[in-house]
């Protein structure tokens, strides 16, 4: 499955899997699975030209997006449940994954956008190495839920151009209750700090498309359940020039009634309060959403292009 160039350090992260904050330490090389349930071969739910990302990522042509099945988090409200928890998708070889990247480049994508890559990161990096050898020249976007281990992020230095993590919570109790990650805050803080150390703030090309840097996403949940003001304060402490995407798109559709406190959409006042706080904290590079956007980002992974 691996080429002779497969890096020993990456191999070790799979032999005693420490890729995410769960630190399961299962031997993925021998077929063992941890909390994420991902096997050794990458499983892909979709690959497509995606025009619904932040403008600096999608650009005019679209982002060459690869959606990976499974996830190291288990968010009760995840809009991608069909792939993150129900694991819809098909397994591919490393060589086939490299071919997908090259295909997306041939479709004039601005970048290769890896969605939920954490649990397959070593395999993805091997595929990227192969694709680079065959002519891949696009920037790589690492689009993650923010639960990557520090060891993994350090391993990615020089291999990822644009980091695009979520920062979901600032209280571990809520992270454990709603995403199954009771140590989320420490993991996310350490990871995002390291990402920023590696790539700094976003740099754009002449067309306004990102070529490197850090863009952090934060989904505002109703009833202050996402600790948004504390998240914003931490991000502002990294850099006032940091690009932050403050999302209002939460939709209770996937909550299944299990958590009444999450049974409604965000309201305008809740969202406006967080935007005002971000601006007061000195953050000025902000992506904002209309409050009605909760109905605009519901993918259907039974289609070749989930967002069309």
The answer to whether residue 184 scores a pLDDT higher than 80 is yes
Q: Which domains does the chain have, with CATH numbers?
A: 40-295 (3.20.20.70)
Asked whether the predicted pLDDT for residue 4 surpasses 50, the reply is: no
Percent of the chain exceeding pLDDT 90 equals 85
Over 90: is that where the pLDDT of 91 sits?
Answer: yes
Q: How confident is the model at residue 9 (pLDDT cuts 50, 70, 90)?
A: low
The pLDDT of residue 78 is 93
Residue 3: pLDDT above 50?
no
Give 251-283 pLDDT, tens digit per residue.
Answer: 998 876 789 999 999 999 999 999 999 999 999
Average pLDDT for 3-19: 70
Is residue 146 predicted with pLDDT exceeding 50?
A: yes
Q: Mean pLDDT over all residues of the chain?
A: 93
* pTM score, whole prediction: 0.95
pLDDT at 254: 80
Among 20, 23, 28, smallest CA distance to 1 is for 28
């Amino acid at each position: 499955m691996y080429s002779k160039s497969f890096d020993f350090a990456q191999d070790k992260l799979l032999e005693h899997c420490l890729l995410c904050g769960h630190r399961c330490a299962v031997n993925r090389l021998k077929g063992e699975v941890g909390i994420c349930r991902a096997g050794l071969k990458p499983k892909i739910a979709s690959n497509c030209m995606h025009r619904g990302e932040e403008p600096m990522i999608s650009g005019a042509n679209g982002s060459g997006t690869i959606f990976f099945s499974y996830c190291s988090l288990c968010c009760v409200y995840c809009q991608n449940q069909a792939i993150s928890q129900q694991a819809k998708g098909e397994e591919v070889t490393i060589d086939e994954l490299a071919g997908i990247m090259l295909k997306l480049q041939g479709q004039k994508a601005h970048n290769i956008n890896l969605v939920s890559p954490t649990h397959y990161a070593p395999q993805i990096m091997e595929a990227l190495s192969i694709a680079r050898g065959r002519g891949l020249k696009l920037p790589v976007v690492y689009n993650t839920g923010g639960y990557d281990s520090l060891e993994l992020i350090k391993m990615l230095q020089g291999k990822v151009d644009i980091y695009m993590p979520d920062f979901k919570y600032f209280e571990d109790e809520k992270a454990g209750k709603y995403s199954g990650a009771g140590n989320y805050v420490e993991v996310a803080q350490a990871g995002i700090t390291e990402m920023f150390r590696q790539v700094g703030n976003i740099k754009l090309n002449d067309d306004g498309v990102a070529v490197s840097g850090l863009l952090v996403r934060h989904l505002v949940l109703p009833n202050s359940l996402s600790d948004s003001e504390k998240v914003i304060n931490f991000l502002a402490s990294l850099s006032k020039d940091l690009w932050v995407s403050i999302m209002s798109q939460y939709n209770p559709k996937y909550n299944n009634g299990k958590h009444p406190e999450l049974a409604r959409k965000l309201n305008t006042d809740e969202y406006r309060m967080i935007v005002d706080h971000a601006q007061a904290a000195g953050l000025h590079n902000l992506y904002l959403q209309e409050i009605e956007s909760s109905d605009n980002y519901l993918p259907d992974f039974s289609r070749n292009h989930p967002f069309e």
